[in-house]
Structure 1
Amino acid sequence: MKRTILILLLIISACQTQAAQLLQVEPANWWVGMKNTQLQIMVHGTNIGKSKLTLNFPGVTIKEVAHTDNANYLFIYLNIAAQTKPGLVKLQFTDGTQKTTYNYPLKARTKEGAAGFNSADVLYLITPDRFANGDLKNDALEDVNIDRNDPNARHGGDLAGIEQHLDYIKDLGFTTVWLNPVQENRMPGGSYHGYAITNFYNIDPRFGTNQQFADLTKTMHNKGLKVVMDMIFNHCGSSHPWMKDLPAKDWINNNSGTYVQTNHAKYTIMDPHAAKADRDVLTDGWFVPSMPDLNQRNRHLANYLIQNSIWWIEYSHVDGIRQDTYPYPDYAFMQRWCREVEAEYPKFNIVGESWYGRSSASAWWQKNDKLNQHDAGLKSVMDFPLTFISNDAFGYNNNNGGEGSAMFKIYEEIAQDFMFADINNVLTFLDNHDLDRFVRKDDPDLRRYKQALAFLLTTRGTPQIYYGTEVLMDGKKEKSDGYVRTDFPGGWAGDKENQFVASGRSAKQNEAFSYLQKLLQWRKANPAITSGKLMHYVPDNSGTYVYARIIPAKTVLVVLNGTNDNKTIDMSRFKEVIKTHTQGRDVITGALVPVTKNLTIAAKGQYVLELN
């Protein structure tokens, strides 16, 4: 009899435990004093949806306890009054006779970071797994091992490796570091690139911890560097716990887990003639089977993602966000996200990956752009059209002038800047982690390299440079993206070469490094370049492109020769910007160059002249 009673008690106890087993609460904390007083808390636990919630904390009230078709989830909506004090909010879940208590932290805001970035900055883009390995202890995780011989495997780079080379980045002259995704990618094979997130609130343990990321950001700020964090709202990784227990049937697009390939038809978003069916395939289709497409039309998921980005800004004090695959998520959701982030952090900047071949399409996404009747609200867009043109224009095979010349193509692209609402909030670049590297193995010299960087760092917009460009890292995508995301030589103990130091670089690499460093350091102190008016001239038959950056107290004149021949040009044509100046100081060599009569410029050469 006693044994029977004991068994019954154990069964009852087990049933009670199953009735409300708390597994996860996201976000793990929040802050008082936010402009948006609403907080959504997602609670995941066995049958937690059957529980009743109570709390008693001054200034905090329950607005809604929302259920979905999955009883293992609750979405709690709280109102946190403006004068609420920090503390622990006791969330009490009651299911029958069982009570589960969770002490939810409300913290005080520190109001650090979130400074934004602009055309006075230059971004240094890093793929963390491939930059430097500073901590060997976090290399191995579960069944994923380091294999540097496999371009698609984990190589071991981490936050510690980045921190150890911050002085290198600062001394080069960069002001901002953009990190490819650092959130958890606990995927089979390792997902080194970071774009298959399996936990939106955790730093990938192979990179470090949340605290290490916050500390890294603080260290960067102390060194005068800003931080841009890569984020992904369009999809998650297939190993995300959601995929084993979806919060709702409509959490994932296309029947909660059925793979339907996106058509990548990004123009359908702005196309007035587009069929709804085509738009739906773009936004609801998946990139690849390992990246389930998130449905931001689900209000709980929308709130989750918006709060997640705000949580990272408040927690780690990053200064900007680069949002992946910008045209693919739900349009109205992305509008709302931009508004809510800007409301909390007015100086903050978001750049969206707007991968288009035409400037009109890129401009359409920018905040306040007249082309778009339904303002997207996005502050900064990526100038892919200029990237594609630059890769051709700065080659060695262009030797003609006039309208067919390489320089004319650049001029023509810049001439379409009238389409952008804010041309200085356009991210310009020669390459990035998704493109073939700009530097090529077969480049016979540095003329192409120097001319392209001179252009990138003196034209309008906010420049971004991919890690390793300074030491002439090359690579084509070939079979996979891993071939352009190679390891920085010297970032791993035992590397044959350490190109973080001059002694580990070749003479050609040191020349390239020094050239870029001079331009970057000079640019930081020149408001004519970072905010001045741009005036350019139509490239004539000489195949040269001439433009100026102008503020009332200063003029910088840039001359680019797009041909394989030395050219002599009549400078009287540019009197409108030269005015009474008679010479200019070459910012690289320091030489004084006359600008009143004829100027001879070397084949594939460039002048960046401060007029005086």
Structure 2
Amino acid sequence: MKRNFLFAILLVLFSCHQTFATSIVKKVAPTFWWAGMKNPELQVLLYGDNISSAEVSISSKEITLQEVVKLENPNYLLLYLDLSEATPQNFSITLKEGKKSTEIPYELKERKSKASEVEGFNSGDVLYLIMPDRFANGDSSNDIIPGMLEARVDRNDPYARHGGDLKGIENHLDYIAELGATSIWLNPVQENDMKGGSYHGYAITDYYQIDRRFGSNEGFCNLVTKAHDKGLKVVMDMIFNHCGDENYLFKDMPSKDWFNFKGNYVQTTFKTATPSDPYTSEEAKKTVVDGWFTQCMPDFNQRNRHVAVYLIQSSIWWIEYAGINGIRQDTHPYADFDMMSNWCKAVTNEYPDFNIVGETWIGSNVLVSYWQKDSKVSAPKNSNLRTVMDFPLMDQMNSAFDEETTDWNGGLCRLYDYLAQDIVYADPMNLLTFLDNHDTSRFYRSDEATKNLDRYKQALTFLLTTRGIPQIYYGTEILMVGDKANGDGLLRCDFPGGWKGDTINCFNATDRTPQQNEAFSFLQKLLQWRKGNEVIAKGKLKHFTPHKGIYVYERKYGNKSVVVFMNGNNREQTIDLANYKEILPASSAYSVLTDENVKLGEKLTLQSRGIWVFSF
């Protein structure tokens, strides 16, 4: 009996050796790193069959293996390395069990010259927002990738993949630059290997891999380089609140506390006011922050230090690897405040001029201001998030240009009244301003197709001359439409001409309608004039209470200024310029929209919904 028992033990041990010897390390994250980073600590996540029982060693004498973390799931190992003395090199991570061992090659790359001096986007920029699947198809060979879960392309289905990719964007960088935008913001391009709805990108399944239907990691780097060559910055969309349920980190969880509610689905309430609510209950706060966006998007437990490091490192990896200029962080208020604050601080420490904008979809400027860096509203807590999204201003603009303006309310008074409350913001110039985006109805409506462009022109003039960092949604320049009531898929239509065989190519003026060309030319004129214009990028804002329905404001920087007059009524108005003498330094000015010098007398007449933009 004793001999049989010993034989059984030896059989088990032999079986373990065999299991380890035949195991494969399926994932190494990150796949490589750099020597000379300001933060010398590196977390390396290893994923493979039954690897946690292995002894771990590294071949480099310059690198210290600080900590080996073995989690609940035997398929994971977390290594924490100290790189403070490390130079660029190749070394090996060895996993050993008994006489069997597996060597994992690893590289510490040399940082590029001035890698930490990445120029972030700022109020001198205009972001052109692109949903990659819907902009242009430059490489049809990657439309369907064998083995990926959503293996179809159907341009007639607004919720299916349509085939747009990075090559398609690259092919039209000249178009974007000539329009006058200075940055491109891409909806998520990381792998979304989901069974359905993967076109939009917001359910990431691999944080270190570009979705192969968009291209490759190298292809993304190439796009960033070519964008930079044309004077365009690149902003990358990221999601730290949740991932897709096909992510290996969820399908085979490292530990139960890697995700909120131990990996069990609990729906968030979407009440984004809750985290800043001084009266909120712990239950309400937990549900909104820890609850899941949808059942197929499990919510990360960012209070787990390993999860936090994994996410923070993934963003720094893309900044260093691809040279991106900014990040737009999805669903920012749904994530853990302290972790996200630490993330912003970590990124800024490595890249002082880099910028991050958080999606703060809240209907109150006070509540939006809570999330901005150095906010007095959230003090003593500090989000360290430089830029937040001005959703309340979007709401005001979507009403203001439809209404008649009186001297007290409605119409352009909405804009005056809202901006008068900018005292709640720590830095109003670092607000992302926009008329629409991929989650909202498009500003230009289909019922305007036979109308003039007054509403369109006034809105874009205001957007591009007021404070903040403007964002334009792709297709705005050609009057693309989309009503959220008809579903999100139709807010994200294909750009006409982005696919071979399209009967209309709106990248070319000859295929656009006269009205589309009028809209394009108007926006292009403003964008090209705004580019490099320090008065708009840095100038102080002064405005006047609307009188006779006319809203007047000034941007001033040094001895230069821009003054905007905007008629908020459907009738001609004449005003006395004596009321505005403090912002009219000369008797004549250059008219930006008409390319002429205009003599300024005692009176100024504005046509119905008319605009004057004067440069002094």
Q: TM-score range by the shorter chain?
A: over 0.9
How far apart are the structure 1 equivalents of 2:43 and 2:144?
A: 35
Partner SS for 2:199: coil
Q: Which residue of 2 aligns with 1:340?
A: 346
Task: Compute the displacement of 1:500 (Å).
Answer: 0.1
Secondary structure of the structure 2 residue equivalent to 1:375: coil
Q: 1:87 Cα shift? A: 1.2
Q: How far off its partner does 1:359 sit?
A: 0.9
Q: Please give the alpha-carbon distance, in whole angstroms, between the structure 2 residues aligned to 1:352 and 1:251.
A: 23
Structure 2 stretches of 5 or more lacking a match? 1-10
Partner residue of 2:357? Answer: 351
Verify the 8 A CA contact 1:114 1:320 in the aligned structure 2: no
The CA deviation at 1:237 is 0.5
What residue ranges of structure 1 are gaps of 5+ in the alignment? Answer: 1-7
CA distance in 2, matches of 1:350, 1:182: 17
Say which SS state the counterpart of residue 445 (structure 1) adopts. Answer: coil
Aligned-pair CA distance for 1:89 = 1.8
Q: Does 1:152 align with 2:159?
A: yes
Asked whether the equivalents of residues 241 and 335 of structure 2 are also in contact (C-alpha less than 8 Å), the reply is yes
Does residue 121 (structure 1) correspond to residue 125 (structure 2)? The answer is yes
TM-score (norm 2): 0.95
The 5 Å alignment of 1:171-186 reads: 171-186=178-193
- Do the aligned partners of 1:405 and 1:543 also contact (CA within 8 Å) in 2? no
Q: Distance in 1 between matches of 2:406 and 2:212?
A: 54
TM-score between both structures, scaled by the size of structure 1: 0.96
5 Å-filtered alignment, 1:164-313, equals: 164-256=171-263, 258-313=264-319
State yes or no: 1:496 paired with 2:499. Answer: no
Classify the secondary structure of the residue corresponding to 2:553.
strand
Alignment counterpart, residue 481 of structure 1, candidates 479, 488, 491: 488
Partner of 1:106: 108
Separation (CA, whole Å) in 1 of partners of 2:573 and 2:16: 89
Between the aligned partners of 1:104 and 1:254, the Cα distance in structure 2 is 35
Deviation (angstroms), 1:553: 2.0
The answer for the alignment partner of 1:512 in structure 2 is: 519
The 1-side partners of 2:84 and 2:67 are apart by 15
- The aligned amino acid for 2:289 is T
Partner of 2:467: 460
**Does the CA-based 8 Å contact 1:18-1:46 persist in structure 2?**
no
Which of 589, 594, 612 does residue 589 from structure 1 map onto? 594
| Whole-angstrom CA distance in 2 between matches of 1:240 and 1:33 | 31
1:301-450 equivalences under 5 Å are 301-373=307-379, 374-395=381-402, 398-443=403-448, 444-450=451-457
Amino acid at match of 2:490: Y
Q: Which amino acid aligns with 1:323?
A: Q
Q: Give the corresponding residue for 1:58.
A: 61
Quote the offset at 1:332 in angstroms. 0.8
CA RMSD of aligned residues (A): 1.6
Q: Deviation of residue 477 (structure 1)?
A: 1.6
Aligned equivalent of 1:552, options 542, 546, 558: 558
Q: Is the 8 A contact 2:132 2:165 kept in 1?
A: yes
Separation in structure 1 between the aligned mates of residue 405 and residue 463 of structure 2, nearest angstrom: 22
> Residue 19 of structure 1 contacts residue 47 of structure 1 at CA under 8 Å; is this kept in 2?
no
Q: Note the C-alpha offset of 1:9.
A: 13
Match for 2:422: what amino acid?
Answer: D
Write out per-residue CA displacement over residues 51-103 of structure 1, whole angstroms, 9 at most, x where no aligned residue. 11111313200110011111111110000024x22111211111122111111
Aligned residues with identical type, % of pairs: 50
CA offset at residue 19 of structure 1?
7.4
Mapped partners of 1:355, 1:12: distance in 2: 54
Mapping for residues 567-606 of structure 1, pairs under 5 Å: 567-579=573-585, 581-606=586-611
Counting matched residue pairs gives: 598
1:470 maps onto 2:477 in alignment: yes
Deviates more, 1:341-350 or 1:419-428: 419-428
Q: Alpha carbons of 1:393 and 1:63: their partners in 2 closer, same or farther (altered >3 Å)?
A: same
Runs of 4+ in 1 over 6 A off after TM superposition: 8-11
- The aligned counterpart of 2:4 is none
Is the 1:20–1:51 contact (alpha carbons within 8 Å) kept by the matching residues of 2? no
* Bigger Cα displacement from structure 2, 46-55 vs 428-437: 46-55
8 A Cα contact 1:399 1:565, kept in partner: no
Contact 1:66 1:74 in 2 (8 A): yes
Secondary structure of the corresponding residue to residue 334 of structure 2: coil
Partner of 2:40: 37
SS of residue paired to 2:396: helix
